[in-house]
Amino acid sequence: MPKVSVIIPVYNAQKYLKEALDSVLNQSLKSIEVICIDDGSTDNSFNILNEYSLKDNRIKIFKQENKGAGAARNFALNQSKGKYIYFMDADDILDTNALKQFYKISEENSLDFLIFQAINYNEEKSTYYNIPIYLMDDLINDKVFSFDELDDNIFKINVTAWSKFYNKDYLLKIGAIFPEGVIFEDNLFFWKTMFHAKRILFYKKCLYIHRIHLKSSTRLCDERFIDTIKINNLIVQEFINEGYFDKYKKELFNKKVMLTSVRYRTVHEDFKKYFYEKIVEDFTKILNHEYYDDFRDSLGEINTLRFENAILSKNFKEYDLKSQYIELKRENREILKENNSLKRQINKLNKKNKQLLSSKSWKITKIFRRN
Q: Which residues contact 88 (CB under 8 A, 6 or more apart)?
A: 6, 7, 8, 20, 24, 94, 162
CA-to-CA distance for 167 and 83, rounded, in angstroms? 6
Domain extents for the chain?
Answer: 4-212, 223-332
Determine the topology of domain 4-212 in CATH: Spore Coat Polysaccharide Biosynthesis Protein SpsA; Chain A (3.90.550)
pLDDT tens per residue across all 371 residues of the chain: 999 999 999 999 999 999 999 999 999 999 999 999 999 999 999 999 999 999 999 999 999 999 999 999 999 999 999 999 999 999 999 999 999 999 999 999 999 999 999 998 888 788 887 877 777 877 767 789 999 998 888 998 999 999 999 999 999 999 999 999 999 999 999 999 999 999 999 999 999 999 986 666 555 567 888 899 999 999 999 999 999 999 999 999 999 999 999 999 888 888 899 999 999 999 999 998 888 999 999 999 999 999 999 999 999 999 999 999 999 988 888 888 888 888 888 888 888 787 777 777 766 776 666 65
Q: How far is CA 191 from CA 196, 206, 232, in A?
A: 9, 22, 11
- What pTM does this model have? 0.87
Using the Cα atoms of residue 87, residue 89, residue 90 and residue 91 in order, give the sign of their dihedral: negative
